[in-house]
Amino acid sequence: MGNVLEVQSLKMCFEGLTAVADVSFKVRKGLIFSIIGPNGSGKTTILNMISGLYKPTDGRVIFSDKDITGMKPHVVGKLGISRTFQNLRLFNELTVLENVLIGRHCRLGGGLFSDVMGLGSKRKVEKQALKVAMEYLDLFGLARHKDSKAQSLPYGLKRELEIARALATEPQLLLLDEPAAGMNAQETANLVELIRKVRDYGKTIILIEHNIKMVMGLCDHIVVLDSGQKISEGKAHEVQNDPKVIEAYLGTRGVEHAFN
């Protein structure tokens, strides 16, 4: 498998403060790839540069052999990168199905979006959009809630709905920013299985997550940041036993405390 993404010497400065400094890594197709690190280490800043929310101060983002550095988010989305955010961004007054249909917007012509939202009738584009939306609702076990308003869902299902909506854009690369935040143990376990399903569905995933136990059991490859710099990279057992990683999380108290 080749690389779907290559980050080359990324740097991001805010009014003289360096949030990310000379970070490079490659993401192979079909993997669950994770970026971890203490609070303020630059994880979300990197996702923001990949997805187009931030233009890097320096460095390049290469996606499917195309330089997308500094491109606007809607352009990046059309090229095949979709994401979720730390805070839920659902349309609470719309139904579950309508929320996922909104994810189809970037794959439709501008004049056809209103058709998808129910104003047209029996058009080919509407049928295709509904088919794709229901496919992802089925994948996530949300089809039975399709007519419910998003605000009525339990928190864990709202998180899953946000991922389903991101997938409706048909991305090659899915960026998940702390998807397990606020979840209980059962919800987190369900999420882990769903992320595996998404990977098996042919998607590449970059995951930011503070639940280190979840990351170590789920991810194929991990990059560790500290103070905006990459301090370690490799498989779970490799970073788990890296002294620099242990110190970044808990000083020198030992790996058994950091990752168990």
> Which CATH architecture is the domain 1-80+173-235+249-260 placed in?
3-Layer(aba) Sandwich (3.40)
Domain ranges of the chain: 1-80+173-235+249-260, 92-170
pLDDT tens-place string over residues 80-137: 999 999 888 899 999 999 999 988 776 665 444 554 555 554 467 778 888 889 999 9
Q: Largest Cα–Cα distance in the chain?
A: 64
The pLDDT value recorded for residue 124 is 75
Q: What is the pTM of this model?
A: 0.89
What is the average pLDDT value for the chain, to the nearest integer? Answer: 89
Percent of the chain with pLDDT over 90: 77
**Across-strand partners of 207?**
34, 176
Least confident stretch, 177-181, 222-226, 253-257: 253-257
Count CB-CB contacts under 10 A for residue 71: 19
Residues 141-168 have a mean pLDDT of 95
pLDDT tens-place string over residues 217-249: 999 999 999 999 999 999 999 999 999 998 887
The Cα-based distances of 219 to 30, 101, 193, 201 in angstroms read 11, 29, 12, 16
**Sheet bearing 229-234, strands edge to edge:** 81-83, 173-177, 204-208, 32-36, 221-226, 229-234
The Cα-based distances of 63 to 39, 139, 171 in angstroms read 27, 26, 12
